[in-house]
Amino acid sequence: MRNAWAGLRARPGRAALTGAGIAAAALVLGVALTVAVGLATGFDRAATQADLPSVVARFDEEDPRDVADRVRRLPNLAAHSFRYEVTRVELRAGANRLGEGVVHVVGGGRRGYAVVAGRDVGDAAGEVVIEQGLAREWDLGPGDTLDVGEAGPAEVVGVAVAPDNVAFPLARTARVYLSEAGLLQQFPEGSRFPANLVLLWAADEERADVLLSFARQSAYGLSSVRFLTREGLRSLVEQASGIVVALLVAFAIIACALAGVLLAAGAHSEIQRRLAQLGVQRALGVTPGAVTAVAAAQGALVAAPAAAAGLLVGGLLAAGGTDAVLAALNELPPGPGARATVLAGAWGGVVALVAGSAAWPAWRAARRPPAGLLRGGDVSPPRKAARGRGGMTALGARLVTAHRARYAAVVAVLGMAAAVVLLLLALASLLERLRDDPATLGKRYSLTAALPADRADEVRALPGVAAAAPRYEQRATGASALGSPLRVIAYPGDHTIFEAPALAAGRRLAGPGEAEVGQGLADALGLRPGSTLAIQPGDGEELRFRVVGVVRALQDEGRVAYVRPDRLLAASPSLEAPLAVRLDDGADAAAVRAALARLGAEPRAVGGATGDDRGFLAVLAGLLRLVAVTVGLVCLYALVQSLALTVRERRGAVAVLRAAGADHRALRRLLFGAATAVVIPAAVVAVALEEVVLAPATARLAAGYADLPLGAGLGQAVAVSGALLGLAALASWEMARRLAREPVVTGLRETGR
Amino acid sequence: MSRRGPLTRRDALAVLGAGAAGLLLGCGDDGPGPRPGDTLRRALADPDGDGLLDASGGIAMVDRTDLGRAGRAGDTLATVAQVTDVHVRDAQSPGRVPFLDRAGPRFGSAFRPHELLSLHVLAATVATVNAAGPDAVLITGDLIDSAQGNELAWALTLLRGGTAAPASGASGYDGVQAASIPDPFYYRPDIDAPRHPGLLRAALAPVRSAGLRAPWHAALGNHDLLVQGEIAPSPVITAVATGDELIVAPDRELLRLGDAGRLDREQLETLLRAGLPGETITVPRDPARAHVGAASLVRRLGGRGDRLDRAFAVGDDLWVVVLDLVRRDAGSGGIVGAEVLAALTAGLNAAEDRRVLVVCHQPLHDATGAEPAVALLDEDPRVVAVVAGHRHRNEITPRRTPAGGYWLISTASVVDFPQQWRMLRVRAAPRGATVLETWTVDHEGRPGDPDDLAGVARDLAFLDPQGGRPARAAGAVRHRNARLHLPARSLRAPAPRAVPPAVTADPASAGFGAGDAF
């Protein structure tokens, strides 16, 4: 350790440069880890803290005493509590007003929500607990007053979080909780409230499916029974937040991997650069073990503070945005302790990685004969003489490419960093398309019209309309997996006219009783062509379909099934279906909308897969920008390091050039040539890496059930290449400026040694 | 007479064969944990409430001194096993009404998630009864579920020793538990949790039983004689049972009709002739599902005529009187008519100075017209206990009488949780006192073992929301494992008595839909 420390003190500039690289990579890692861990574990954390029930059963109003006997008989039941939910309640506070308030009247027993500020409702009248989204959006807190429909003004006594839906305003509704005892004081004419929700907590969460199975078997006579499990709620929240969070987490994981590669590559190249020094040490009789230990210790000593700083800054930078995303999803951020633990673990990992990456090549090198090391070291002359063509720019390129292994490493590192930037750009453009373009969901219709099915012919006759048909849609769960929500979509004829996600297996459906299922649903229920899809619609008996095809649908995480409507209508005759309207290519959508309006329809544009809450998307965009900036810093670092090393190694040659009259401008050309020799192949590497590795990996991580178009476009590739060239210019300008400050004689003296 | 002599090759092969068989049996026992059995040594419990039964410690007998001081138990006079409410069931029969469960608890367990496994449970019960080695076995009614001939044949085969398969109709399963049945109110093991893929097919495989080693005596239960334990068979009802139309989900109107009040025979037959309204599936016809008449049933259960009242000795010191309280028209509750009183009087008159155990399916003291019978028992100091089933729950209550009192013992069913039978050991105590020791015994099905179908049956019975778990049918320890003390008294036979007059039965109670207990 003493030798390592002495070695670092002998070259403080180099150590600082190495440390800066590690800090930059750690910054990426800190950002990525904070985002990935925060978002990936947000639901579980909130569910645990809120004591989210294992199963939520909804039904039409009943006297809870009538339902309680059935509930108490269920197996694996630890506790239950009833609620009465009232929707479309007007909420008002100051100038804010919302007609989509949802009131939950809570009685005794476990709550299923976490109070994150203030306290829970008590038995007193005029108290309300509000959901966090409403508190944040309307700037309410304990002590404020909220008007709750007919219940009138109530004092906000607490703020609650329950991850059973996304938060207001990402959800259109906002939820508030009133106590039954309080309301009965206010409205003494009623003896108690009915119930339309029962929350069930399993004694063993792992066996919640047993509780759910028997709950369903015991539900005869209750109307409109729907069950939701924890996993179902997780799916719904993830579906509501769109694909963006999954993309963000996937990207963060990729960024983590990139940071690891950067760190390992940096440490490795540092040892490659010191091969001659290692040779001298070995020639002096230092054992391979001691050489390795010193290399590892030096790596650890540099990495420890640099990684700590990078991770800390990265964590702090990403925490705000991550917390905002989690709040929008009604999820809770990790506590400071949990975050510190994750970052501390990452710090340990970074230090170990750097030390290991330094030790391994040092060990391999130290076991070679010292003479070989010295031959391959920096003191050896280049094997090929430089040809005298191309001027200063070409000379710069030849200087940087002289050490091929290091050159390749720098190109690879820069290429990887640039590939991540390309991925970011592709992500941004995909998010935009997902928000605005229904075609990314495989939808070929762009409008819906609230008209009865028998008026489809009238719509088809409108100019600019290519096709129109009723589109039935029903929420359901898998009959064998009641925690698996899915969406059933039905058209009376060929659904591919309106929706045609890519067929992954089997064939398209051809008649009643057949189904095409999304890959996500197929994975969840173990379906394949030939198997039976058994579903439980919201109410009534189960339905069976024979799976004939599997499609790669992006909608609802691929948990969709396309069928013909016959069986849906037989089970639910009152099922309504707006008309899906597909336009001719180049048709004037506004004119068609106007024509539909004249028919009495309410035409609506079809949206994409992401939520349309601008605040939510802005937060996500901010997080992506943050990652982009940190990766940009890595790129700049890689370039500067490469140029600095080149200049340092070729100090003598540069000094001779300067002595021969090369001015500041010539030096810039020289260095720009060196930088360009790095960034051009790096751009090629970046494009290839993004296309072949990163885009498929991210798409698979985020949505293995669908085909996400995450490949970068030509414009994006050109933009990244241009940005790299800009960085090259910036780095060469800076290095030239520094070099110009150094006396020529210093370099010449070094040459003469 | 035994033969002694040099060991022959045949003897050596027999010894080797026995050894190999023992080894195989031993191997077969190497499942996940020891097999359940006597609850004095090991019981099953679910302390964490997760719906999974685990082995726990034994349950020691508690002394019950409600009727007399605890005395030192002396010689064992007799040991008797009581097995009750097995409900061997043809789960594929169109004559069943599993859909009635959805009409609410009034109809009790018309459908059970483990209903295809009743033969496995019976075979596993026979195994532990044999292991306990009682002097006699009392099967106190509801051996079968719906008075069908095939149900009776299967049950008798397993009690006598042999192989039976719970299959009716064609091969394969055709019933409400098939995965293809889109009715979420039935448990379908292939798709519903806890999933047991292939259970339906496995359940239809033949079940082997060694048969009861001890002599066994059956009491008649309402399910043995009445369709679904409620109504006497008729040609119309039998035609449904042997027919090819199995109703899966009735129209709600039908259930409302049931809700409005009990259906009488005429209403039911009218409905059946028209075809029950609702969703049906077609199943293969099977004449083996025909209902058994009373005379045939009694004969096959070892009685004579069309009633199963009888009395017999178990050993030298215990006299057992079996009473047939089953209505012959409709209704699940017991009834005490002139025939019962005659049989009881005759039985007591023949008991001499032995201790007496009265056995019936429905609890005698709750039966219609029971007062004269109860009066007879109350006056008799030899009566130790009245043992019954029907309620599917363990309950032991003292009956205090001027003659010293006796115990009313109700025992949980084999079909519903806890799927246990009861051991009774009658022991003498000084000066004519009696100690009746009783404990419950689990059948040998292993919990949590998907390959042990009897164990699966108990696991499912435990989960059943209409079963014995929520009804707390196992009862408190004092109703399960207890030492029941009776005071010292003279056991001398009283003077023979005349048959008391019967009380007229209440005809209003004779309707369809009263249901068994829970």
The nearest CA of chain B is from the CA of A688 a distance in Å of 47
Q: In the structure encoding, which two tokens stand for residue A405, read together?
A: 């292994």
Test B187 with A213 for CB contact under 8 angstroms.
Answer: yes
State what percent of residues in chain A have pLDDT above 90. 32
A-chain residues near B249 (CB < 8 A): 541
Confidence of residue B439 (pLDDT cuts 50, 70, 90): very high
For residue A544, the SS3 value is: strand
Interface size A-B, in CB pairs within 8 Å, comes to: 86
CA pair distance B147, B159, nearest whole angstrom: 17
The pLDDT tens digits of the residues spanning A408-437 come to 877 887 888 888 888 888 887 777 777 667
Looking at residue A574, its pLDDT comes to: 83
CA pair distance B356, B377, nearest whole angstrom: 10
Test B179 with A73 for CB contact under 8 angstroms.
Answer: no
B456 vs A282, higher pLDDT: B456
CA atoms within 13 A on the CB side of A645: 26
| pLDDT surpassing 50 at residue A360 | yes
Looking at residue B103, its pLDDT comes to: 67
Contact A328, A45 (CB under 8 A): no
CA pair distance A683, A635, nearest whole angstrom: 11
Considering only CB atoms, B184 lies closest to which of A202, A479, A532, namely A479
| pLDDT surpassing 60 at residue A750 | no
CA pair distance A195, A189, nearest whole angstrom: 17
State what percent of residues in chain B have pLDDT above 90. 72
B-chain residues near A221 (CB < 8 A): 102, 104
CA pair distance B305, B194, nearest whole angstrom: 46
The nearest CA of chain A is from the CA of B182 a distance in Å of 5
The nearest CA of chain B is from the CA of A542 a distance in Å of 5
Which chain A residue has its CA at the smallest distance from B459's CA?
A: A75
CA pair distance A66, A194, nearest whole angstrom: 10
| pLDDT surpassing 90 at residue A345 | yes
Looking at residue A201, its pLDDT comes to: 97
CB of A54 less than 8 A from some CB of B: no
Q: What DSSP assignment string belongs to B257-303?
A: HHHHSPBPHHHHHHHHHH--SEEEEE----GGGPBPPHHHHHHHTT-
| pLDDT surpassing 70 at residue B21 | no
Test B466 with A73 for CB contact under 8 angstroms.
Answer: yes
CA pair distance A489, A640, nearest whole angstrom: 56
User: Residue B72: which region, alpha, beta or left (left: phi > 0; alpha: psi -120 to 50)?
Assistant: beta
Which chain A residue has its CA at the smallest distance from B183's CA?
A: A541
> Could you tell me how far CA A5 lies from the centroid of its own chain?
41
A235 vs A82, higher pLDDT: A82
| pLDDT surpassing 90 at residue B249 | no
Test A75 with B465 for CB contact under 8 angstroms.
Answer: yes
For residue B376, the SS3 value is: helix
| pLDDT surpassing 80 at residue A254 | no
Sorted by where each begins, the domain ranges of chain A are 1-53+235-377, 54-234, 381-437+614-753, 441-605
Looking at residue A77, its pLDDT comes to: 97
CB of A716 less than 8 A from some CB of B: no
| pLDDT surpassing 90 at residue A84 | yes
From edge to edge, which strands make up the β-sheet containing B406-410? B310-314, B318-322, B355-359, B383-388, B406-410, B395-399
Looking at residue A385, its pLDDT comes to: 45
State what percent of residues in chain A have pLDDT above 70. 89
CA pair distance A168, A329, nearest whole angstrom: 9
Looking at residue B472, its pLDDT comes to: 95
Confidence of residue A269 (pLDDT cuts 50, 70, 90): low
- Sequence-ordered strand ranges (E) for A479-578: 481-490, 502-506, 514-518, 532-537, 543-552, 560-563
The length of chain A in residues reads 753
Confidence of residue B114 (pLDDT cuts 50, 70, 90): very high
CA pair distance A358, A298, nearest whole angstrom: 8
Looking at residue A665, its pLDDT comes to: 81
| pLDDT surpassing 50 at residue A481 | yes
Test B462 with A75 for CB contact under 8 angstroms.
Answer: yes
Contact B50, A203 (CB under 8 A): yes
Q: What is the mean pLDDT of residues A166-173?
A: 88
Residue type, B6: P
CA pair distance A735, A737, nearest whole angstrom: 5
The nearest CA of chain A is from the CA of B398 a distance in Å of 30
The pLDDT tens digits of the residues spanning A85-120 come to 999 999 999 999 999 999 999 988 899 999 999 999
Looking at residue B427, its pLDDT comes to: 97
| pLDDT surpassing 70 at residue A243 | no
Question: What are the residues of chain B with a beta carbon less than 8 Å away from any beta carbon of chain A?
Answer: 48-52, 101-102, 104-105, 179-180, 182-187, 191-195, 249, 462-466, 469-470
Q: What is the SS3 string spanning B79-141?
A: EEEEECCCCECCCCCCCCCHHHHHHCHHHCCCCCCCHHHHHHHHHHHHHHHHHHCCCEEEEEC
The nearest CA of chain B is from the CA of A77 a distance in Å of 7
| pLDDT surpassing 50 at residue A379 | no
User: Residue A557: which region, alpha, beta or left (left: phi > 0; alpha: psi -120 to 50)?
Assistant: left
For residue A409, what are the CA distances in angstroms to A372, A378, A382? 21, 16, 18
Closest CA to B150 of B255, B15, B85, B242: B242
Residue type, A177: Y
Q: In the structure encoding, which two tokens stand for residue A214, read together?
A: 């028997």
B30 vs B71, higher pLDDT: B71
Contact B197, B190 (CB under 8 A): yes
Interface predicted TM-score (ipTM) of this complex, two decimals: 0.88
B-chain residues near A210 (CB < 8 A): 51, 193-194, 463
Considering only CB atoms, B182 lies closest to which of A70, A76, A544, namely A544
Of A92-96, A368-372, B376-380, B427-431, the poorest mean pLDDT is in A368-372
Q: What is the mean pLDDT of residues A212-222?
A: 88
The pLDDT tens digits of the residues spanning A512-560 come to 999 999 988 888 888 899 988 988 886 667 899 999 999 988 778 788 9
Q: What is the mean pLDDT of residues A627-653?
A: 73
> Which domains does chain B possess?
63-509 (3.60.21.10)
The pLDDT tens digits of the residues spanning A586-613 come to 888 889 999 999 988 888 887 665 555 5
| pLDDT surpassing 60 at residue B509 | no
Looking at residue B395, its pLDDT comes to: 97
Contacts of A385 by beta carbon, 8 Å cutoff, 6+ apart: none
B-chain residues near A536 (CB < 8 A): 184
The nearest CA of chain A is from the CA of B282 a distance in Å of 18
Looking at residue A186, its pLDDT comes to: 85
Looking at residue B97, its pLDDT comes to: 82
Looking at residue B412, its pLDDT comes to: 97
∠ CA B357-B363-B368, nearest 5°, is 120
Closest CA to B140 of B504, B479, B309, B388: B388
CA pair distance A529, A507, nearest whole angstrom: 8
| Single pTM value for the model | 0.81
The pLDDT tens digits of the residues spanning B24-68 come to 344 444 455 678 889 999 999 999 999 999 999 999 999 999 999
Q: In the structure encoding, which two tokens stand for residue A454, read together?
A: 């028998």
Element containing residue A155 per DSSP (H, E): strand A152-161
Contact B105, B518 (CB under 8 A): yes
Looking at residue A676, its pLDDT comes to: 87
Contacts of B148 by beta carbon, 8 Å cutoff, 6+ apart: B90, B93, B95, B241, B288, B289, B290, B291, B292
Looking at residue A613, its pLDDT comes to: 54
Test A203 with B469 for CB contact under 8 angstroms.
Answer: no
Which chain A residue has its CA at the smallest distance from B197's CA?
A: A480
User: Residue B431: which region, alpha, beta or left (left: phi > 0; alpha: psi -120 to 50)?
Assistant: left
DSSP single-letter state for residue B357: E
Confidence of residue A230 (pLDDT cuts 50, 70, 90): confident
Looking at residue B26, its pLDDT comes to: 40
| pLDDT surpassing 50 at residue B514 | no
CA pair distance B396, B484, nearest whole angstrom: 9
B56 vs A753, higher pLDDT: B56
Looking at residue A242, its pLDDT comes to: 61
Looking at residue B17, its pLDDT comes to: 43
Confidence of residue A162 (pLDDT cuts 50, 70, 90): very high
Looking at residue A272, its pLDDT comes to: 66
Considering only CB atoms, B465 lies closest to which of A207, A218, A541, namely A218
Of A102-116, A327-341, A597-611, B74-88, the poorest mean pLDDT is in A597-611
| pLDDT surpassing 80 at residue A511 | yes
